[in-house]
Structure formats: C-alpha cells, structure tokens
Amino acid sequence: MTQVLLVGIDCSDCSHRAVDYAANWARIASARMYVVHIIEWSPFSFNTPQENEKRHQRREAELARAHSQILDPILADLKSKGVAAEGVVRHGHPAETLSALSAELNATNIIIGRKGQSPIKAKLFGSVASTLVQISDCPVTVIP
C-alpha cells in the first residue's frame, strides 16, 4: 500500500519544518505527498444575494492567490529536491477541512506544525493541532 502524506501549511516556520519532515519521509518511503493550505472561512454570514455573489468571486480569487503565492513556491522547491507533491487549497475550518481531505485522499498520515500559542489562547480557542489529533481518522504527526 502506498503511503499518502498530507501536510498542512500556514506559512509559519513550524509548517515549513513540517514540509521538510514530510519531504524526507516521502523520499525514503516513496510516498505520495499533498501540501495543503486552508483559508479560514465560515459559511455563517447574513448577506444579500449580491453580497454572496461578490463573496464567491473573492473566494475564488483567494484560492488562486494562495496557490500561486504560497503553494507554488513550496512545490517548486520540493521538485528541485526530487520530491513530487501536489498542492491543494481549500476554504474552511483548518482541522475539520484537513480531516475531511485526509479521508478524501486516503491519507495514511497528516503532518502539521504547531504554532505554539499561549496557553490561555489555546484553552479559549483551541488549536488546530489538538483538534486534529482528536477528530482525525488517521495518525497525525505534529512538528514543533
């Protein structure tokens, strides 16, 4: 069975370490690798139909911009190092979207970086890493 690695990135230093970790793993295990960026977005909003149409256009522009400015440079760097990877950009709650995407892509492991929020902020709002560890159906590797 081919291993499928899903790497969540958020432009932080720890997410770059997660990409490096996953790249080494993918190279050693000949695993498929997906680099994923989630744009936080909530469907709960009270808009007029005209606002919803503009919102959809903004969402599409955000997806394209995230792919070109965030994912494409990472994918080019991985390719130069001999690691084949695909990029995915989605809107949604980061942990929930990564978990759903891992099922969709049959991921064998999710790899993410841990930002290191303050203990108070993490308790009030939670963290992507802790939420993902709790809801994921596949193993989660958290990189400090």
Kind and range of the H or E element at 15? helix 13-29
Around 120, how many Cα atoms within 13 Å sit in the side-chain half-sphere? Answer: 0
Q: How far apart are CA 102 and CA 89, in angstroms?
A: 13
Q: How far apart are CA 15 and CA 113, in angstroms?
A: 5
Tell me which DSSP letter residue 45 carries. Answer: -
Which has the higher per-residue pLDDT, 93 or 4?
4
Which domains, ranges and CATH numbers included, belong to the chain? 4-118 (3.40.50.620)
Q: Looking at the chain, list the stretches that DSSP marks H as alpha helix, in order from N- to C-terminal side.
A: 13-29, 49-66, 72-80, 94-104, 119-125, 128-135
Given a cut of 50, whether residue 125 has pLDDT beyond it is: no
pLDDT digits (tens, 9 = 90+) for 43-55: 555 666 666 667 7
pLDDT digits (tens, 9 = 90+) for 61-118: 888 999 999 999 999 999 999 999 999 999 888 999 999 999 999 999 999 998 755 4
Which of 126, 143, 144, 141 has the alpha carbon at shortest distance from 31? 141
